[in-house]
Chains A and B, each alone.
Chain A
Amino acid sequence: MTTVSLTVNGQSVTADVDPRTLLVQFLRDNLRLTGTHVGCDTSQCGACVIHLNGQAVKSCTVLAVQANASVVTTIEGIAEGGELHPMQAAFREHHGLQCGYCTPGMIMSAIDIVNRKGNALDEQTIRAELEGNLCRCTGYHNIVKAVAAGAQGMAQAPMRQAAE
């Protein structure tokens, strides 16, 4: 067993884990943060995307022990005081989800896109930047709309963006 200490959604966590524990397993099984999903075993679908030290990564391809001393944010950690993050609100408003399974990873990726590319995102940029996230339900049409709107929403809530 190896000891791992990290901050998840603002809370400090320390645990002894089998080194082969993936970060996503640690989040889901140890911390019961089941909003982060697993949809493949080849690091492609993006259902497991979380933020590791402020960057979007696939938590199925990171060992929990590699996240030692890191700051992790999951889908459960982005709404504040019961108010949805602008990107969450945009996905709801623009019907950017159906079954909801890929949604946490999509939203975490979308926030990362805005953090890197800014608040004015055109359709082609969004489609290209969603390269690492698969959705089988929506045909992406409304996800693209939601990301564009969420990016605008994040511009209107600069404090929220900084907090993330």
Chain B
Amino acid sequence: MYAFEYHRPTSVKEAAGLIGQVEDPKFLAGGHTLLPTMKLRLAGPANLIDLGQIAELRGIERSGDTLAIGAMTKHAEVANAAEVKEAIPALAELAELIGDPHVRNRGTIGGSVANNDPSADYPAACLALNATIVTNRRKIAADDFFQGIFTTALEDGEIITQIVFPIPTQAAYAKFRNPASRYALVGVFVAKHADGVRVAVTGAGSNGVFRASEIEQALSGNFAAEALDGVTVSEAEMNSDIHADAAYRAHLVSVMAGRAVQTAVARG
């Protein structure tokens, strides 16, 4: 790890203020992507601003037909929260599938969303649930937020404060894990909303998380696994690596979508 200065602000305002004052800053959330990257010397911020002591960034709250989750809420907290299990059980299940128990005890939803790793799980939930990413400056619709691999609408120094999820009628997430890393080789989040079906795919796309329009169309008339019989997704936009080539990923998108729908329907 390269040397850096460490800052431990206790409010969003203080954290945001530091941005203008120090050189080459980086926010530290759960640290489970950033710290390994820094250990391998692939990142070397001069100033690390730890968001871990900011109480206002934590917490889960349901109000009406939305569920708001503070950016520094840990995966394990989302997985175990009664409010989440009640409102959007698919989201709790997704959180339970991230990394391993130790990772879930440190990693945060805000960190995951801000990083937009192409094989991270939360971006699929945000996109399929039509979430709003709330920052210290504005509110960003998920459709606008995710802009390609490790790229988001966040501006320099902008801090995610919470993610607000509309509560769907039915939803589920099916993940096919990369056997080695446990990230999503393919993860499909399906959500039936009052105004339509949204399906988001992570892990598979060569340009990061995306909505699968073929599958959305198939499910919009009939939200059932059978509706996906014969529905294929194009492999043209799929990622290819030593673990899975584009054709296999495209195939898995259909399979995982079917399994997610089955789970969602079975849950009622």
- Is A43 interfacial (CB-CB < 8 Å)? yes
Given A19-B5, A63-B6: A131 and B35 interface contact (C-beta under 8 Å):
no
CA distance A19 to B49 in the complex (A): 12
- Is B227 interfacial (CB-CB < 8 Å)? no
Contact residues in A for B102 (Cβ distance below 8 Å): 43, 46, 49, 56-58, 109, 132
User: Do A56 and B101 have beta carbons less than 8 Å apart?
Assistant: yes
User: Do B50 and A43 have beta carbons less than 8 Å apart?
Assistant: no
CB closest chain-B residue, reference A64: B6
CB distance from A137 to the nearest CB of B (A): 20
Q: How many residue pairs bridge A and B at CB < 8 Å?
A: 79
Given A42-B36, A61-B32: A55 and B105 interface contact (C-beta under 8 Å):
yes
CB closest chain-A residue, reference B30: A61
- Is B43 interfacial (CB-CB < 8 Å)? no
Interface 1/0s, chain B 26-68, versus A by CB < 8 A?
0010011001101110000000101010000000000000000
CB distance from B80 to the nearest CB of A (A): 8
One of A44, A66, A116 near B31 (C-beta < 8 A): A66
A residues at B contact (CB < 8 Å)? 2, 18-20, 22, 41-44, 46, 49, 52, 55-58, 60-63, 65-66, 68, 109, 112-113, 116, 129, 131-133
B residues at A contact (CB < 8 Å)? 1-6, 8, 28, 31-32, 35-36, 38-40, 48, 50, 52, 76, 99-103, 105-106, 181-182
